[in-house]
Amino acid sequence: MYNGSQCDDSSTPAIILLFIGFSNLDIEIGGGSYDIWETSGIIGVSGPLAGQPCATNCPNPDAANDQRAWNQPALDPNQQEMSLLRLAYPTVGSTTLAPGVVLFNGALGDQTLPKWDPAGFWSSQNNKCPATKQTGDGDCNYDRIAQQLQLNGFSALQVQAVFLKSANANPLYCLNTSLPCAAGSNQPDAYAAETSMGNIMRFLQKGYSTYPVPYPNLKQVFITSRTYGGYGVNARFTSQTYSPGCLNPEPFAYEESFAVQRLIVAQITGTPDQYSGAVDYSNAPWFDWAPYLWASGDTPRSDGLFWCGGQGDGRCSNTDFDVREGDLADETDYWGDYTHPSYTGLNKVSNLLYQWLNGNLNSAQSFMSNWVTPWAKAH
């Protein structure tokens, strides 16, 4: 990989691994770096709430008076301490990664897969890009990241690896057609996710329409699906009257992994399927799995990963939540959405990602990647 030692501008020499995706990734990489409710009108809130990234309008089944969920505020000091960036940069000026490797958090709350797809949400003339305030700007998230890179002394030319984790919001149609699905739906959300991912891969390699290639020196892309979503409210399979499939519950969170798998198979075989589009090396960068983060609730998978939701069943106590159930200080005011990671859930993800980046060769639990470790690991 190019180490940036002969940059053609004033950028700091670096190999940048760029993380792009939605709120969960923003929390897992940086602890959550953006405030929610940028405008007034949400349950009497008059302005932004500091330290509360990516709250949702999905309901908390325990909330009084039909309150919509807010995320756990940053009153818990463990939140940012558990993030991947803190593991990789434990103190100011120090790193556990190879010299010159920079992890850059480009994830942002509410930026679901269609909002990274240049032919998706932001390409509509009806949607105003949050970065440029322009309409019809299909690559607005990439514009935002370019500005952030520049403000921090870097360049888009230094992005050589990208990590993608996002999902569709409010999914409607599952792969198992025997389950009840929304009237009028004709495509499972997993296939829609695969289509968006294929568009994103082609954009990273070739640009789109009038948009230039965002990262000309990109060498690798890593994709993963989201964590367990079974603790979030899924109105489709309940008697509640909320919007179907609020946010990204089960089985949709699990089924997203099939979208990633199909996309990777399409590149390996060189044969696109009807949803991936052409993702061979002439149309897309090389891409592969990032660490798989899903486990079936509190049933441990082979490496021991499981997700607690306050079951009180012996493995997870009534107070063990890997998802945000509310504010630890005042649960009467802040109701969690059971979807975004709490600091313990964030700790599980960040450690898996850290092992993938910079694993211990002697550890039986090492998830280090043969494709990442040679340039990311400090030797």
Greatest mean pLDDT range, 140-144, 161-165, 370-374: 161-165
Residue 98, domain member (yes or no) = yes
Quote the pLDDT of residue 17. 96
| Predicted confidence (pLDDT) at residue 160 exceeds the cutoff of 80 | yes
| Predicted confidence (pLDDT) at residue 379 exceeds the cutoff of 80 | no
| Predicted confidence (pLDDT) at residue 129 exceeds the cutoff of 80 | no
Q: Taking the C-alpha atoms of 324, 328, 331 and 335 in order, what is their torsion angle to the nearest 10 degrees?
A: -20
Quote the pLDDT of residue 308. 94
Residue 4, domain member (yes or no) = no
Calculate mean pLDDT across residues 131-156. Answer: 80
Residue 8, domain member (yes or no) = no
With bands split at pLDDT 50, 70 and 90, how would you rate the model's confidence at 316? very high
The total domain count for the chain is 1
Report the range of poorest mean pLDDT among 62-71, 118-127, 270-279, 318-327: 62-71
Residue-wise pLDDT for 174-218, tens only, equals 887 655 455 555 788 999 999 999 999 999 999 987 788 999 999
Residue 6, domain member (yes or no) = no
Q: What residue numbers bound the domain in which 225 lies?
A: 15-376
Which class for 163: exposed (0-12), middle (13-18), buried (19 or more C-beta within 10 A)?
buried
Quote the pLDDT of residue 90. 83
Quote the pLDDT of residue 79. 63
Quote the pLDDT of residue 119. 87
Which class for 57: exposed (0-12), middle (13-18), buried (19 or more C-beta within 10 A)?
middle
Quote the pLDDT of residue 373. 86
Calculate mean pLDDT across residues 99-111. Answer: 88
Percent of the chain exceeding pLDDT 70 equals 70
Judged by phi (left if over 0) then psi (alpha if -120 to 50, else beta), residue 21 lies in: left
Residue 328, domain member (yes or no) = yes
Judged by phi (left if over 0) then psi (alpha if -120 to 50, else beta), residue 339 lies in: alpha
Q: What span, in angstroms and rounded, lies between the C-alpha atoms of 104 and 357?
A: 14
Residue 307, domain member (yes or no) = yes
Instruction: Please give the mean pLDDT across all residues of the chain.
Output: 79
Calculate mean pLDDT across residues 6-11. Answer: 54
Residue 29, domain member (yes or no) = yes
| Predicted confidence (pLDDT) at residue 127 exceeds the cutoff of 90 | no
Residue that wins the pLDDT comparison between 171 and 103: 103
Report the range of poorest mean pLDDT among 45-59, 220-234, 295-309: 45-59
| Predicted confidence (pLDDT) at residue 69 exceeds the cutoff of 80 | no
| Predicted confidence (pLDDT) at residue 266 exceeds the cutoff of 70 | yes
Residue 127, domain member (yes or no) = yes
